[in-house]
Structure 1
Amino acid sequence: MRLHRLTVTAFGPFGRTQTVDFDALSAAGLFLLHGPTGAGKTSVLDAVCYALYGGVPGARQVPGPSRLRSDHADPDTRTEVVLDLTVGGRRLEVTRQPEQLRPKKRGTGLTTEKAQSWLREYDAVTGTWKALSRSHQEIGEELTQLMGMSREQFCQVVLLPQGDFARFLRAGAEERAKLLGRLFDTRRFAAVEQHLAELRTTAQRRVRDGDERLLALAHRMRQAAGTGRELDGAAFEDLSPGDPGLADAVLEWAALARSAARERRDVTAAAVRAAEDAHTTARRRLEEARERDRLRRRHAAARRRAEALAAGAREHDRDRARLERARAAETVAPVLEARERAEAERRRTALAEERARDRLPADLAQAPAERLADLERATRQELGALDAARHAEERGARLAAELARLERESGEDEELLREAEEWLAGWEATRDAHQRRVDAAVEAASRAEQLARRLDTVRRRLEAARSRDALTAEEAATRAELAAAHERALAAKQDWLDVRARRLDGIAAELAGELRDGEPCMVCGSPDHPVPARPGARHVDRQAEEAALERHRRAEEAHRLIERRLDSLRERLALAGEEAGEASVAELADEVAGLETEHVDARRIAAGAADARAAFERLQREHEVRQAARRDAERRAASRASRREALLAERDGLREQVARARGEAASVAHRADELERRAALLASAAEAVSAAEAAARRLKEADARLADAAWHAGFDTPQAAADARLTDHEQRVLQRRVDDRQAEEAAVAAELADPELADAAALPPVDVDAAEAALDAAVARLNAASAADAEARRRCEELDRLSARALADARALAPQREECDRVTRLAGLAAGTSAENERRMRLESYVLAARLEQVAAAASARLTQMSGGRYTLVHSDARGPGRGRSGLGLHVIDAWTGSERDTATLSGGETFFASLALALGLADVVTEETGGLRLDTLFIDEGFGSLDDQTLDEVLDVLDSLRERDRSVGIVSHVADLRRRIPVQLEVVKGRAGSVIRHRGATPE
């Protein structure tokens, strides 16, 4: 990278345009940038950095739109930096204008001008400049890529700040790590350390979670195991999650708990077997006692039953005799029942015959059955002859109904045709009216949309007008406030200038006040002070000037704040004015109200568009229906006329046939009903007479059979047989009593004959309650033993299950624990906290140590020359004191004494040329690190005042040797001796109108 030309305008202390011709300065290889304090030497370097990176070094960053603008510049002059340089084999020109305040083109006040950038490239073939970009981002990316280093690296290796490197020589490991980390970008190694630390934390958390699960299982096993002296004082109770040996302690105690649980289970199992034997014995004894007691009770009950049977023997004999007579009467029962049925039939048929004869005419009341049957057959023959006439009469009725229906339908169709004709007559007018309604609704909808857009526009104008009026009042108040602030600022500035002039007038007296007898004067150097100046009446000191300056600055700052606020108000007022136009708030409000009324009316009309369309569609459908109905009615009328003529002809033919058949009756149907009733009456009467005669014959035959059956059954009369009969229920009840007595007699005899019962009755009685109590006690002992055994088995099963889970968790946790140990060791090594890392060197420090070793080697070559072969810089990885880290130590070897000591022990002059050598060596290493970019222009800032003449010559020789590599070095210093030693100079001269730049010993192009 080589700088050719720098042009600054209204930048920093430079009120007007200033140009630095680096080509002229670089021709000598070594040039001096000097000037009084505060003149702007560092601002030249800031301009170079701002042109390349869009920002100044971090320590001099100031927020705000006027942070880089010169206070001495004309308000209409824009702040601008133009840098012409060659980088990466390309000749480029970069122009940057920062964000700044400027006077408004219209009106009063200030407005903010946005930052702008331009990048051009020189075309050697055509000899012209070609524009590349105006984008801040694109220009920044292009230059950063060509430079190959960040702004921090550039400020460290091109603008060499000697103060930083002097602090670097005396700094500790952490401070050196921060600087080297920024230059060599070792964030990826720090990220590796962080990643390993996160892995360690995750692995430790995983192991700790696993140990907590193991401890939880151990406590659950402790609860499952119960209490026992052999389980007290478990080893795992003294351990915490993460402690080594926790898993082994838990598994060991689990094995002991399982062994103890199994022993208790064996003991309870033996107790259960003993309880079961005792229970079996008690239950057998109880069963034997209950059986003997049962047999004794059976024998006593049998004796009581035998006595009861003997007492009821006479009643049993009566039941048997009555049952036998009832069974004998059962043989007569069918004949008796048949005779009763014949009697009932005779009475029923006689009554029916009497009723049938009462309905017959008087001449037939006593006619025999044969006569009645003959009359019935003759009547039915006559009825058959009326069937054809009856069908003709029914057809005639249907024809009359059909003709009536046709007449009714004809009337309905005529009414329908009349309505259709009337409706269709007004179709055109109705259709046009509905169409006009639809068109009006559509037009209203379109008008409503237009009105809505106009209403939104006018509403925005109304809001803008209200804001305009409010901002106008606020702008007037702020303008008055600005005028007052401007007056205060001018007064404060004038006061400061007056105080400063008064102090300058009496500066000799102020200097004289610092004179001491025998001490040289800081102006003339004489130790004698014959006539020191005396302060006048208007003299002020430095504190008064600084107080006046501070008041002036505060007034200026207040003025700028009000200006910015006024600019913002004016911008907002301009926007509101453009939006609102010239109309007043009242006019716009009236316009909004009128538009809102029109919009509401239009929306109301447009809201009926859907209903209007639907009504129009319904009207069209009804028109189609009406036309179709008219056509259908006309078609039905034509069909109905032909049908009516055919029906009338058929009806006239049927009337003659019906008249002949009905005779004197009202109709053929009435005549047929009369004949049907006569035939039915004759038939029922003939049937009733025949049935009565047959029933009388069957009753006589039944009387004869009943008398014969009673005699054969042993009864004197049929009535005696009837009295001996019993109902089925009575027979079953009587038979059951007889059977039950016989069964009871047999059972009692069998019981009394049973030898087992007799033997049990002969034995003494037994105590069943005592046997039951003994069994209850045995059951209680068995239940208690079973419960204890079940509990012991449950504990064993629970311990086995929990132990299996603990073993599985321990096995699963083993590789995690190994991984945790491995990651913990690796993270400790990377972080420098592990005992295995003897030098306590972090991974990032290790990488930085290698870089520092390269820097020390590169710096030693120049330091040896600067110190006349006496000093050499070496890197040291010795461990720091206390808990400090190692790896970033820097020592100097003194060839005269052969001793090696820390760089913090160097004197002031030694520190300067050591830090200069370190800066140059760092520039070489960073250059190689960033891709070998050639740095043809370097700047060294301050520090030369601490060197003696001989050391200064050696340092200048080293710097002058850089010209062998076609480099130019600019020394930034106010040391007077350097102006004599370095002929090519760039002087920065400050003045009340701003600083100016002068070239000395070099003629700018």
Structure 2
Amino acid sequence: MKPIRLTIAGLHSFRQKETIDFERLCEGGLFGIFGPTGSGKSSILDAMTLALYGNVERAANQTNGIMNHAENELFVSFTFELQHAEGVKRYTVERSFKRADALRIRSVVSRFIEEGNERVVIADKTRLVDEQVKQLLGLEMKDFTRAVVLPQGKFAEFLSLKGSERRQMLQRLFHLERYGDELNKKLKNKLADASAKLEAIKGEQAGLGDASKEQVEKQKQALTERKEALERAKNELRDIHERYEKEKQLWQWQCEKEKVEQQLDEWRKQEERMKQLEQTYERSKEAERLAPYIEQVERSEKEVAHWQQKAKERDAQLQQVRTMYEQASKQYEQCRAKKNEEEPKSLQKQEQLKQALQTLALMRSLEQQQAKLRASLQEIEEKEQEARLRVDTCTQEYTTWSAKQAELKKQWEEKKVDVHVKERLEQVDEKKKHIQLQRQALEEIEKEKEEKLKTYEAMKQTYEREIKQMKQLEARLAEEFRHVEWLYHRVCEREKQAMVLVYQWKEEKKQMEAARLHDLAATLAERLRDGEACPVCGSTHHPNRAKRQQVALDEEALERIDRSIQIGEQLVAAIQQIKMQVEQLSEMMVRHPLPQRVDVEKVKREVEEAPLSSLKEIEIEGKALQQDYIACRDRMYRYIEKWNEQKQKEQQYAYQMETVRQQMAELEEKCAERRTRIEQEKKMWHEAYPDVSFEQVDDIVRNLRKREQEAQQLQQRIEKSVTVLDNKRAELEQWKETYQEVIKQKAEWTTEWNMQQQQYEQYKQTLPEGMDEESVKQQLIRIEETLQRVKREEEEAYARWMSLQQQLHTLQADKQAADVALQEGEKRKQEAERMLAEQFQKTVFKTVDDVLASRLDEQTKQQIAHDIQQYKDILMKLQNEWQRLNEAMNGVVMTKQQWEETMCAYEQAKQQVDEHMRQLGSLEAIVADLEAKHARFEQLHQERMQLEKLVGQYEELQKVLRGNSFVEFIAEEQLVHVTRYASERLGELTRQRYAIELDSEGGFVIRDDANGGVRRPVTTLSGGETFLTSLSLALALSAQIQLRGEYPLQFFFLDEGFGTLDQELLDVVMTALERLRGEHMAIGVISHVQELHARMPKRLIVKPAEPSGKGTTVQLEVM
């Protein structure tokens, strides 16, 4: 991060808008911000934090009292750059505030802008701008003021932080939160996702049903048989299709031929009209060939008439112009003679009058100059009197101001404040403000703790509601599981009944077959004759012949029983399939035990009360059981899914409650630490300043500042009086010089007036008596008018003469050209009439009127030609088409009845193939579904084993990462690196006397290598040693901070501490800082120490506000 530009207006002592160009200021790497105490140096850092975070660290409630008391608006704008691997991006944060009351302000405008070819507003609301800055930089405001911009009172805060607070700060600075809450959250989400997937796989396995290998093979066999039947149907369709295509083509040709013959008859009826159109078209073409000759004759006749008229007009015009030319020539000669006679006399008189006019003008000029000199002499006399009066007045004022200055110096000596007293009271005031800030921080922590408690109570109520809903879902699941168990027992009983019924039908069939066999034997016995061999046993004696039974055999009943047995076995298989599916649902009962089992005997009684007695009842019962299974399965999956979601919510709320409880414990610890710190600081304050009451500090400081302000105002008045005295002295000297210059100027102007008066008298004697300027001008005007008139008359006569001469020549040439053109036109007329007569002899036309009557316009000719050509083309096309169709048919003719019979046979064959294909597609879908289910079951089995292993690993990892132990471990590692780097810096600054180490609890200790390496707490350090140690830690943090883990930190600000260093340590610190500026970092030092002023290559001078109302101003100085 690199600062570019900061604009401030209305903040603290800044009133008008001031802009600081950090881009130039940071070019050398090291710069200083200097100015007297209270000038507004620290307000520059306040403006940075206000622009970025909307708060000021040292202000009450972060913003109270930061607006200039004389302003009602506050504006800050901070432009900075972020550099990373992709390049450099520039951003600007702008904020405007307005006064709410005497202390508080309210935000009006907040904007976060990305600079580039065009300015893009990324955020335009206060909350969004705050979030954008924190997201982009990755630092909270308190981290920014501890490691990047160190304002007054914050320099050594990181050094004295407790272990937990330091670890939390390091987590934010180095973005370790991704190893804590974020990692636990990701792990929890992973575990929840894996558990949900595992439950989903178990449910999916249960819902796949019977996908055994035997079932797949059985359906494949049925598929093969259906494919063979389809192939036979396709062969029959192929034979019929060949005959169908041939007859279809023949029928199309036959229909097309009849249509072509009808069209030929229609077009042949137009043959006579086409012949007439051809004759009209040819006659118009012949007329068009003669048309140019007729037009040529007409044009030549018009041309001859035109030139005859032209020649006649030119003769009349020529005669008239010749008469006018002779008159103009005489008039010109008269005008020229008159001009030669009058012009010389008038010019001589004109010259004499011009000389007299010049003399009169010189006299008038002298009169004007004398009038100005008289006025100037009068004015110079007035200035003489004024200058004499001013000299006396300035002498008196200078004496008065000298006395006032002496009185102001006396008052300033009385009001002057001792520097040591001022510094001590400022320290007292600063310590009190620090304690008050600690109290405000404690109140904020307690407020946050109360908010966390409210959040915990709300979460607890929500958690209890979720537990209640989960128990309700478990009750519904238990009910559904009891229904599954009831359904299973019912399916089993119905399976037994169906099997018994099928068994009865089989026994009945056996009896009927035995009866039919006995009947056949009786028929054979009736045909036996004594002495004839039996066809069964060959015996010729038949003592015991079979007797025919009285019951008649019914072949149809036997067939019905066969069909019932076949369909009954299929229905039994379907019920067994339902039984298997219900058994798969029952597997889920293992994970959710029933609080109460189903009464199996009751289910048996219900089934026995409504036994199955027919095939129709078995079929209806099978469908009912299937519907019960589907409805039950859907409800179970839905409730299990809801139960899993509810279980996940319950775990999530439990985790959140535990997190909030831990946060509350941490806040309680912070409150205790903050209270202890406040008591310690108050105790230290009373020990350090026993003579100053804590409650009276504000009044004492207010009186001191009032006295200091009065002294400052007196000092400014003294400085102003010095300037006034200098001005009065200069004014007195100036008026003395002015008086001498006025006396000298008066003498010069008097001499000049006398000389001009003598010259005027000389000019007056050269003019005739009574001549004035007006009469001379009138005479000159009359002479000039005479000269102009004579000249104008001559020029007009000459112009008229020359114009008529030119017209005469032009008309003579036009007359000659018209005569020649007339002769040529008559020749062309004769030639055109001859050619037209020759052409008439070659055509059928007799007169010009016949030709004109036969001509047609171009559109009509094109239409006739198009109609004739279209007739010929269509007739030719139809004849060719009839010939083609006749040759294709080859004399074969087909009736409509024959064609319809062929179409009917073809459609029947197609329908048969389609039916086979539909059944084949259904079987293929069944086989594919069974194969997919079988493959899916095997795949789900593998995935289930992997997920069970993964869930176990996640649960083990969750146990390991519980709490913040992993984050604390990484933070400790980062702290070790920071401490090692800071120790190297501290060694450089203290000539290897001190080093920084970590104790067993993660706190800082100082190793004093000059005293044998003894280790002591950081609280035993002096002010200068504390500054050097804090500086080393701050430099180490800044060097290793990467904003958001990707942007390097390119600047660092110090706002205190240098006043506690002696000259030798000051040189060491400055040498170290100058060495750091070459490490890609700009360092800014804010101080009033004069020794630093000379060491800085670039300086920003902060000038304090003036009593006149002008606010703080800044100025850039370069060495």
Q: Which has the higher contact order (CA 8 A, sep 6+)?
A: 2
State if a TM-score over 0.5 links the two structures: no
TM-score bucket of the superposed structures, by smaller chain: 0.3 to 0.5
TM-score (norm. length: structure 2):
0.29
Find the structure with the greater CA-based Rg: 1
